[in-house]
Amino acid sequence: MKTIAICDDHKIVREGLKQIISSFTNFEIIADVESGEALFHALRTKTPDIIILDVSLPGRSGLEVLKQVKALRPQISVLVLSMYPEDQFAIRMLKAGASGYLHKDSEPGILLEALNVISKGGEYLSPKITQLLFKEMSGNGEALPHKSLSDREYEVLLYIGEGKTISEIGDRLSLSVKTISTYRTRILEKMNLDNNSDLVKYILLHELSAGQTSA
């Protein structure tokens, strides 16, 4: 029996996952939490075999949580489950140590397949992710400006694209307004853009938004 911890800030998502996974005979959920802080608190007394992790979380992002989990407990496998399409976050998460990446629209059977692969020490790569990795390794991927952004800068970019104010982004990421403003300045410089309006147009052009960053 392999054990699982779920980290997602939406209770309805956690409850749905628990219901689905309860039908999988070889997996048991030992924790479900709403944030990175709560996850690390749970890890003080529990060591799951797999963590199912959302990308967008209050405070520390999924990327930050993933990196810290792999630094502290490298033996724990992490399956990322997000509303963001694979071409937006999968490569970043895999580079940070994730063992797989699934879109939240995936069928329960795909989730079971991914968990089975990961539980045996493998990596679950969908055909789309495999194609993205091939392009990355062959150097045929598009050298788009947003790909030069750091993980945190990329998150801030997406929040700006969804119309959130500097203050709202700071609250979401538990960072000061000054820090978010600094990230915004760096993003504009790296992408050679002038203002938020240009950023929003860029995001729409390249379909970077998942529809909601809190998903």
Q: Are residues 122 and 167 in the same domain?
A: no
Q: Are residues 125 and 53 in the same domain?
A: yes
State the chain's mean pLDDT as an integer: 88
**Tens digits of residue pLDDT in 76-111:** 999 999 888 777 778 889 889 999 999 888 999 999
Where helices occur in the chain by DSSP H, the ranges are 11-21, 36-42, 62-72, 86-95, 108-119, 127-138, 151-161, 166-173, 177-191, 196-205
Nearest to 61 by CA among 153, 131, 139: 153
Q: Are residues 91 and 163 in the same domain?
A: no
**Tens digits of residue pLDDT in 111-131:** 999 999 999 999 998 878 887
Q: Are residues 131 and 150 in the same domain?
A: no
Q: Are residues 112 and 87 in the same domain?
A: yes
Q: Are 57 and 7 in contact (CB under 8 A)?
A: yes
Whether residue 19 is predicted with pLDDT greater than 90 in this model: the reply is yes
Last residue of a domain, one of 138, 163, 196: 138
Whether residue 212 is predicted with pLDDT greater than 50 in this model: the reply is no
Quick check: is 124 in a domain? yes
Q: Are residues 149 and 164 in the same domain?
A: yes
Q: Are 12 and 38 in contact (CB under 8 A)?
A: no
Whichever domain contains 164, its CATH number is 1.10.10.10
Last residue of a domain, one of 138, 154, 187: 138
Number of other CB atoms surrounding residue 90 within 10 Å: 25
| Domains of the chain: total | 2
Q: Are residues 16 and 51 in the same domain?
A: yes
Amino acid at the residue 107: E
- CA–CA separation, 131 and 9 (whole Å): 30
What is the residue range of 157's domain? 145-205
Instruction: Specify the pLDDT at position 56.
Output: 84
Whether residue 145 is predicted with pLDDT greater than 70 in this model: the reply is yes
Q: Are residues 24 and 104 in the same domain?
A: yes
Whichever domain contains 38, its CATH number is 3.40.50.2300
Q: Are residues 40 and 7 in the same domain?
A: yes
* The two three-digit tokens of residue 20, written as one number: 């689905």
Whether residue 185 is predicted with pLDDT greater than 60 in this model: the reply is yes
**Tens digits of residue pLDDT in 26-57:** 999 999 999 999 999 999 999 999 999 998 88
**Tens digits of residue pLDDT in 127-139:** 788 877 776 666 5
